[in-house]
Amino acid sequence: MYQLIITEFLKLKRQSIIWIGIIAVFIAAILAALQSNSNDGSVTYEVFYNNVIWNNFSLAFPFMIVLIGGYLINREYTDQTLKTMLTVPVSFRKMLIGKMMAIGILTLVFGVASFIFSIFLSSIFGFEGYSVPILLKALYQITVIGFCNYLAVLPIIAYFSRKKDRFFTGVGFAFFYGFCGIFVAGRNLTDFYPITSGLGLVHYTNVDTTAYNPIIGISSLILMVVLTFLIIISFPNYEKVMAGPENKKKEARKTKQV
């Protein structure tokens, strides 16, 4: 599995789609800076990075994670590399798990990038209130909530990776899924909704809410992981996966001949 993950990162070095993730994270931070700057009075860094977290889970991270994850898996279909797996002892399911683990690590990297952007933009906009505890808290909350978003969208990546080019539908669904978090956060459903369950785990304080229930939040994310596992084990073998496109080509040839 370690070699599979390393291989995925070597592939990522040749992919420009990773820049979409960087841009999405930066735009979320820019929007947070503008939102914070529009408030009357002085704005502290803590208020600003809380707005960054809000934009990350509601706009940037869910769709970005599904887009990158779905794209990486879809390349195996479009590049016809699944056929080469017949000659190596790697199962289709194991390959998917390796890719998803690589995406999880990449999500943590995007979380750190979001934290760095928050410091950079905070210095530009003149937000005050820096301290070592606040910075460590910001790094912790931004990265953990980002990773929770990753766990929340895992079933979407797995389900829409069953067929070629289906991940585009998953990206649209993930954006809607994350956007709905705006209406859930700060209400009694925060811990139940997978996208927002991470808010309770890190004790996010930028919304008016009743006391969080971390047990429910953790259970919500565990359910997403279990659902992903069930989707993966229900996948057909890659011989059957590739049989569909091949059969369609054969039928098209027969139709032309007739």
Reported as a single tens digit per residue, the pLDDT across 14-34 is: 778 889 999 999 999 999 999
Residue 252 lies in a domain: no
Higher-confidence residue: 209 or 62? 62
pLDDT at 41 over 70: no
Amino acid 258: pLDDT: 47
Residue span of the structural domain in which 30 resides: 2-245
Which band of pLDDT confidence, cut at 50, 70 and 90, is reported for residue 10? confident
Which band of pLDDT confidence, cut at 50, 70 and 90, is reported for residue 241? low
pLDDT at 173 over 90: yes
Average pLDDT over residues 41-59: 91
Which band of pLDDT confidence, cut at 50, 70 and 90, is reported for residue 239? low
Amino acid 72: pLDDT: 87
Residue 256 lies in a domain: no
CB crowding 209-233: b at 16 or more within 10 Å, else e: beebeeeebbebbeebeeebeebbe
Which band of pLDDT confidence, cut at 50, 70 and 90, is reported for residue 174? very high
When divided into structural domains, the chain yields a total of: 1
Residue 250 lies in a domain: no
CB crowding 70-80: b at 16 or more within 10 Å, else e: bbbbbebbeee
Which band of pLDDT confidence, cut at 50, 70 and 90, is reported for residue 143? very high
Tell me the average pLDDT of the chain. 85
Higher-confidence residue: 210 or 228? 228
Amino acid 186: pLDDT: 73
Residue 36 lies in a domain: yes
Which band of pLDDT confidence, cut at 50, 70 and 90, is reported for residue 6? confident
Q: Is the pTM of this model over 0.95?
A: no
